[in-house]
C-alpha cells in the first residue's frame, strides 16, 4: 500500500509538471517570432523597414506593429493610435486605447491601428519573460508540503517495518 501511495504521489507530481510545461510553452508562444524594425531620418520619417527576429531587437529600436499583429517586446508608443487586447497578460477583457507615450506589453494583440513602438524592455527583461522565469522557478522549487511528506516518510517507513 505504501509503495502504491508513493508511486501515486510521483505520478501526480509528473502530471503537474507536465501541465506547467504546457502552460510555459503557451506563454512563450505569445510573443511573435519576428518584428518590423524601422529606421527613421532626422525628421522622424521612415526610411527603411526590415523584418528581423524578435530575439535581435535591442532597447530603443523603433518597431512597426501592424493592425492584427502582436506587439513583439515591451515598449512605449511613439506614433499612431490603436486599441490593444492585453487580456492574455492582464486579464483585462476590453482592448485598451494606446496613443503617444503609452506603454505596450510584448505578446499582446494590436487590434485596429498601426503603432510605432520604441522598445524599452527586451529579451529576459520583458513582462512575458519575467512571468515565464517566475513559473520556472516555482516549478523547480519543492512545495513545503513535499518536504513535510519526506520528513514523515523518513520515520514512518522504518517504524512500520519494525512492527510488521
Ligand X SMILES: *[C@@H]1O[C@H](CO)[C@@H](O)[C@H](O)[C@H]1NC(C)=O
Task: Name the site residues for ligand X (rule: CB under 6 A).
Answer: 85, 87-88, 94-95
Query: How near is the Cβ of 84 to ligand X at its closest, in Å?
Result: 10
**Phi then psi dihedrals of residue 158, to 5 deg:** -60, -40
What's the distance, CA 44 to chain centroid?
A: 32
- Distance CA(10)–CA(13), nearest Å, equals 5
Query: How near is the Cβ of 29 to ligand X at its closest, in Å?
Result: 12
Closer Cβ to ligand X, 87 or 153, answer by number: 87
Closer Cβ to ligand X, 38 or 69, answer by number: 69
- Distance CA(75)–CA(120), nearest Å, equals 5
- Distance CA(110)–CA(97), nearest Å, equals 10
Which residue's CB atom is positioned nearest to ligand X?
A: 85
Closer Cβ to ligand X, 68 or 144, answer by number: 68
Query: How near is the Cβ of 93 to ligand X at its closest, in Å?
Result: 6
Query: How near is the Cβ of 31 to ligand X at its closest, in Å?
Result: 13
**93: how many CB neighbours lie within 10 A of its CB?**
8
Closer Cβ to ligand X, 79 or 83, answer by number: 83
- The cell numbers describing 120, all together, are 524599452
Radius of gyration over every alpha carbon of the chain, rounded to an integer in angstroms: 24
Closer Cβ to ligand X, 32 or 95, answer by number: 95
- Distance CA(164)–CA(159), nearest Å, equals 9
Query: How near is the Cβ of 109 to ligand X at its closest, in Å?
Result: 6
Amino acid at each position: 500500500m505504501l509503495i502504491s501511495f508513493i508511486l501515486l504521489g510521483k505520478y501526480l507530481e509528473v502530471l503537474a509538471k507536465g501541465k506547467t510545461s504546457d502552460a510555459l510553452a503557451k506563454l512563450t508562444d505569445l510573443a511573435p517570432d519576428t518584428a518590423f524594425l524601422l529606421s527613421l531620418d532626422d525628421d522622424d520619417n521612415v526610411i527603411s523597414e526590415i523584418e528581423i527576429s524578435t530575439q535581435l531587437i535591442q532597447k530603443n529600436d523603433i518597431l512597426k506593429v501592424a493592425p492584427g499583429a502582436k506587439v513583439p517586446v515591451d515598449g512605449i508608443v511613439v506614433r499612431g493610435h490603436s486599441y490593444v487586447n492585453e487580456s492574455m497578460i492582464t486579464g483585462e477583457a476590453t482592448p485598451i486605447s494606446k496613443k503617444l507615450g503609452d506603454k505596450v506589453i510584448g505578446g499582446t494583440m494590436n487590434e485596429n491601428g498601426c503603432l510605432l513602438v520604441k522598445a524599452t524592455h527586451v529579451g529576459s527583461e520583458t513582462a512575458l519573460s519575467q512571468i515565464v522565469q517566475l513559473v520556472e522557478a516555482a516549478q523547480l522549487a519543492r512545495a513545503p508540503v513535499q518536504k513535510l511528506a519526506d520528513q514523515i516518510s523518513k520515520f514512518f517507513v522504518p517504524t512500520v517495518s519494525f512492527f510488521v
